[in-house]
Amino acid sequence: MSANQELKPWQIIVSSCSGALLTSLLMTPLDVVKIRMQAQRKPFERGQCFLYCNGLMDHICTCTPPPGVRPWYNQPGRFTGTFDALVKISRQDGVPALWSGLPPTLVMALPATVIYYCCYERFKYMLGYHSNENPNALLPPIAGATARFIAATIINPLELIRTKMQSKVLRYSEIAESVRIAVQHGGVLALWKGWAPSVLRDVPFSVIYWFHYELFKARLLQQYSSQKELTFPQSFACGACAGAISAVLTTPFDVVKTHRQIELGELESLGDHHRRLSSTWKIISRLYRTEGVTALFTGLSPRIIKVAPACAIMISSFEYGKRLFHAYNNDVELEAPS
């Protein structure tokens, strides 16, 4: 089996899932530190929302601790910087504290990542794309955009349910009733609140990312013609560069999505089913009117620092898994009786 032949679905699932786990394990501590340092300046109040990123997805979190319990994000600490926080949190709260809040977010992030990468690989081969056989640079963006659209559409209702469970501390038996009330007040489309800003950011990101990643990959394979696949460092570098470019170009959409997520989380925590969310264009207009164009690029540097390594870890791990399965399939073919 050559490197251009399609892997079996379960092999793509294992490759993407292992890459997603590795990415979240390596990137989550940085976000935990960021949240703890934010709380150090001003502790989160009950009902207040904040964003938690595990390297795969942004999740809206609502501060709803049980009475008398101090949640992980409001634990005391005096940190002077990122490295200082990593060391002090490990010493004071234990090393596992660096992954506080991670398990609940993986319930959404792992399926979303698996769906996304499985769809991308499938669509890429359906379109006839091959990275080292006269590659058509327009095909990966099409496959990436379609895959992201499907993944976002499937996961959005589940993420909304997760937000409801967290904001109201619902028991599993109360989930159906909460969903029924939401649909009763807003129709079936209420389950896709926040879908538009997510798609508006993630689909362009996927288009830009896969265009550049596959372009860099094809150029390297052409330059090193003896290689059939990228090495781990090569795919890591390609992923980091493609991720950085995509992060810069889609930052305005990320700012809008962040505002919508925070607004949605606060509405859920208040139980307000009647108030409508601000539209995407209304948020853009408000930001531009009050703070100017620079408001749409708020947090650009931190976003690049977060997105570039996350993309690099994910794609290099994914490609490494694919390479192992290609080698395994080749061995199976050679051992099979003719």
**Entry pTM:** 0.85
Query: Which pLDDT does position 65 carry in this prediction?
Result: 74
Query: Closest Cα to residue 65, out of 169, 215, 142?
Result: 169
Q: Could you report the average pLDDT of every consecutive run of 10 residues in the chain (338 residues)? A: 72 95 95 90 81 85 76 86 92 92 85 94 90 80 96 82 56 58 68 78 95 94 86 96 96 81 63 60 79 82 92 97 92 75
Burial class (CB in 10 A: 0-12, 13-18, 19+), 54: buried
Q: How many whole angstroms separate alpha carbon 85 and alpha carbon 262?
A: 25
Instruction: Tell which residue, 176, 196, 177, 180, has the closest CA to residue 188.
Output: 180
User: What pLDDT is attached to residue 323?
Assistant: 93
pLDDT of residue 278: 64
> How far is it, in rounded angstroms, from Cα 304 to Cα 315?
16
Report the C-alpha gap between 254 and 324 in whole angstroms: 35
pLDDT of residue 174: 52
Computed from CA positions of residues 307, 106, 120, 259, in that sequence, does the dihedral angle turn out positive or negative?
Answer: negative
Q: What is the pLDDT of residue 97?
A: 93
pLDDT given for residue 161 in this prediction: 67
In one-letter notation, the amino acid at residue 239 is: G
So what's the pLDDT on residue 143?
97
- pLDDT value at residue 308: 96
Task: Give yes or no for a contact between 148 and 116, defined as CB atoms under 8 angstroms apart.
Answer: yes
255, 287 Cβ separation under 8 angstroms: yes
Cβ–Cβ under 8 Å, residues 40 and 78: yes
Tokens of 251: 């930052």
- Cα(85)–Cα(77) distance, integer angstroms: 8
With beta carbons less than 8 A apart as the criterion, state whether 258 and 221 touch.
Answer: no
